[in-house]
Amino acid sequence: MTLSVQDLRVYYRTLRGEVKALDGVSFDVADGEILGLAGESGCGKTTLGKSLIRMDGRMKHVGGRVELDGENLPIGDTVKMNPFRFTEVSIIPQYSMSAMNPTRKIGRMVRELLDSRGVTVDLDELHRRLDLVELNRDVLGKYPLELSGGMKQRMVMVISTLLNPSLLIADEITSALDVSTQKAVVTTLKGFRELGFVKSMIFITHDISLTNQLADTIMVMYAGKLAEKAPADAIVNRSRHPYTQLLISSLPEVGVRYAEKKLTGIPGNPPSLLNPPVGCRFQDRCPLAFDKCREEPPAVEVEKDHFVACWKA
């Protein structure tokens, strides 16, 4: 599987105008690659994930294209996307745990979902996968309410990968979980790739420390645009974009204490995406901003596979 996204633009229609949530983003995901997608709240991570699988009624595909294995993915067309969902591209949505239908037993939910895809349940395979994620088979007879957060999350992971999609998008699937459960979820995802249940993955989270436990490549977005994309180790150890650097320096590493070393967040807020500033969207908050930043910096490959959109990089 290879995914290629070129100059993708997806806007939300609102009463006050268009929210330019995804405004010209280009990147590739290679076969077997796990891409970690990071960035502040509201930068467009979920929008990107949803665009690749199902746009909601208010989203509009304004420009750019997406190719899966060299073939055009009809992302703007909900009906034409049907044959691709679950089989080619699958998503574990943000808040999916809390979105499970509380009145349906898990087993019935799985059956209905597969029916709607015209597939019958392969019960042996389902059981095998439950065993793999260490869920007791009797969860199928339970209601979502009876499962803990970690169990629900593993259940959602099993369901969304049951048809072996080429690309799995996991949106903030760990942020509501405690640290030991987060570790278990990440271990499971890696296992899924090894076993061939999924080929490539886009793992969305605002937590770079967590992304780095799993991702081969990390892409940092800012206000609807790509800021930096590089192998995980390059992002963590030698990031070149001021935004990435500030994001990393705001992480409370184990051992750091307020009384001894006060960490700082990034001053200011991301710009409104109704009328984003012309030029670099980070300019209002960037300590390095200069005149040139009123023009938009292109994403440049500064070393192999390391892309940065900043005039100072």
Ligand X SMILES: Nc1ncnc2c1ncn2[C@@H]1O[C@H](COP(=O)(O)OP(=O)(O)OP(=O)(O)O)[C@@H](O)[C@H]1O
Binding-site ranges for another protein (CB under 8 A): 39-42, 98, 148-150, 175-183, 186-187, 190, 206-210, 212-214, 236, 246-248, 250-258, 262-266, 269, 272
Q: Which of 3, 34, 283, 306 binds ligand SF4 (CB under 6 A)?
A: 283
Please identify, among the stretches 58-66, 94-102, 168-176, 278-286, the one whose residues bind ligand SF4 according to the rule CB under 6 A: 278-286
Least distance from C-beta 5 to another protein, angstroms? 23
46 binds, among another protein, ligand SF4, Mg ion, none (CB under 5 to 8 A by kind): Mg ion
58 binds, among ligand X, Mg ion, another protein, none (CB under 5 to 8 A by kind): ligand X
Which residues are CB-contacts of 149 (< 8 A; sequence separation ≥ 6)? Answer: 97, 176, 177, 181
**Residues with Cβ within 8 Å of residue 192, at least 6 apart in sequence:** 157, 161, 168, 198
**Measured from the CB atom, is 20 or 154 closer to ligand X?**
20
Dihedral of CA atoms 40, 41, 46, 48 in degrees, nearest 10, equals -40
Type of residue found at 48 = L
313 CB-near residues (< 8 Å, 6+ apart) = 240, 241, 300, 302
Residue 156 is encoded by which pair of tokens? Answer: 């959602």
Residues that bind ligand X (CB under 6 A): 12, 14, 19, 21, 39, 41-47, 58, 94, 172, 206, 273
Give the residue from 117, 96, 244, 85 showing the smallest Cα distance to 170. 96
Closest approach, Cβ 117 to Mg ion, in A, equals 25
Amino acid (one-letter) located at 302? V
Summarize as ranges the residues that interact with ligand SF4 (CB under 6 A).
242, 280, 282-283, 286, 288-289, 293, 297, 310-312
